């Protein structure tokens, strides 16, 4: 993350840690046997990032944020993301294509990073979203050829991309701000 706001930076690392655990957990729905331990280790790493940097957010709660004066826009973005994901999931379920739910949710999440970059004044989020969209598009032929839940590949792609972004952000945070506590 390339923001100048330490509070936003710590929050994003903590949130991406939590989402790493969630996506890697979803990937455990039907993983290849040799992936299971990796998904578990990644989930634990995500929890550790969420805890350490969540504490950093609490310590910096009074600090400046890029969202100052933009909270309503942030709320609308999150609401739109939830509605679009939910309507798409309902459509997939009604079309009996529910194995595509994780892929659809991942696409919505990846695309939401683009407007989020403008709200947080951090262009690195656009790069993350584009990398995720490209990876998700590249998965389509393999997912189409298989009957397994899409989460088996989508979860690791999303979890890994979020954890890598969070770990790079940790290095930037430590160099700029110091320890999160």
pLDDT averages per 10-residue partition of the chain, 181 residues: 92 97 94 91 97 96 96 97 98 96 98 96 96 98 90 96 97 93 80
What is the pTM (predicted TM-score) of this model? Answer: 0.94
Strand blocks (E) in the chain: none
* pLDDT score of 31: 87
In which residue are the tokens 């397994």 written? 148
Domain segments of the chain: what residues? 6-176
Q: What is the rounded (10 degree) CA torsion for 31, 170, 74, 122?
A: -110
* pLDDT score of 10: 96
* pLDDT score of 32: 85
Long-range contacts of 55-60 (CB under 8 A, 24+ apart): 55/180, 55/181, 56/6, 56/10, 56/13, 56/14, 56/180, 56/181, 57/7, 57/10, 57/11, 57/14, 59/180, 59/181, 60/6, 60/7, 60/10
């Amino acid at each position: 993350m390339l923001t100048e706001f330490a509070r936003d930076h710590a929050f994003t690392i903590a949130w991406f840690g939590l989402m790493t655990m969630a996506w890697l957990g979803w990937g455990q729905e039907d993983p290849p046997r040799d992936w299971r331990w990796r998904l578990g280790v990644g989930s634990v790493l995500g929890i550790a990032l969420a805890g350490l940097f969540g504490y950093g957010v609490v310590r910096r709660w009074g600090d400046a944020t890029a969202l100052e004066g933009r909270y309503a826009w942030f709320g609308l973005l999150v609401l739109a993301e939830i509605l679009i994901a939910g309507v798409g999931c309902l459509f997939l379920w009604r079309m009996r294509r529910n194995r595509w739910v994780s892929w659809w949710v991942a696409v919505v999440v990846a695309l939401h990073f683009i407007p989020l970059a403008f709200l947080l004044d951090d262009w690195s989020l656009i790069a993350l979203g584009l990398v995720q969209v490209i990876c998700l598009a590249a998965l389509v032929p393999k997912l189409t050829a298989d009957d397994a839940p899409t989460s088996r590949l989508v979860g690791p792609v999303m979890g890994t991309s979020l954890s890598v972004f969070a770990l790079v952000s940790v290095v930037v945070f430590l160099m700029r701000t110091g320890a999160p506590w």
